[in-house]
Amino acid sequence: MKPMNESHLAILRRHMVEMIAIHADLASDEIGRAVLDERVMAAMRKVPRHRFVPAPLAAYAYQDTPLPIGFDKTISQPFIVALMTDLVSPQPSEKVLEVGTGLGYQTAILAELAGQVSSIEIVEEFASHAQHLLRQLGYTSIEIRVGDGSRGWHEHAPFDKILVTAAADHVPAELLDQLKPGGRLVMPLGPEEMQRLTVIDKDGDGQTRVRSLLPVRFSRLETVT
């Protein structure tokens, strides 16, 4: 059988976005609305997810499922990527911090929507691969560094939005400190077996409001002691 070409993959990508829309409708009670932001859906239709998975898995890239990328990590299910992006709501004028670059798929989605994306990855091989691929795809508003994402990125702080793609029991204090008043942080919180996708809004006085949404399961946020 012939390998799939870009035309085939584009069709599968459109079908993936249709599945995301169905999932959003089914989860509307938990997430508070039935339709995700069209800007997010457009980004999901545009970014080639098959470029961000190991080559043998490219044919499965547009299934609505997580896929292994090495080092016991996965690329998140497309619906979860779209939902987390929708919840963090990056705007063209905003500076976003991503904790957990992986191979760069969520990073590319954020870069389609935000003004500047700073991304931290603890696995050096991932960071190097993502940086090369994102540059190859023409993304110029992204900076990536290797490090402990729980400590944020002081040199680029404060951030309008923070998206954490790994789970912890509590929000790291340094990330909250680096979030602007009026900003928002989205991450999975809870024990290893199951977390809940959580939205933390920081008001003008620095007080936070926490909303816990649907159950998810993510890798743990790795830290350096």
DSSP the chain: -PPP-HHHHHHHHHHHHHHHHHHHHHTHHHHS-SS--HHHHHHHHHS-GGGGS-GGGGGGTTSSS-EEEETTEEEPPHHHHHHHHHHH---TT-EEEEE--TTSHHHHHHHHHSSEEEEEES-HHHHHHHHHHHHHTT--SEEEEES-GGG--GGG--EEEEEE-SBBSS--HHHHHTEEEEEEEEEEES-SS-EEEEEEEE-TTS-EEEEEEEEE--PBPP---
Q: Is 219 marked active-site?
A: no
d(CA 132, CA 219): 24
Q: Which two tokens stand for residue 94?
A: 């905003």
What letter represents residue 104's amino acid?
Answer: G
d(CA 14, CA 78): 12
Give the Cβ contact number of residue 192 at 10 Å.
11
Please pick, among 28, 76, 93, 141, the residue that the annotation labels catalytic. 76
Active site residues: 76
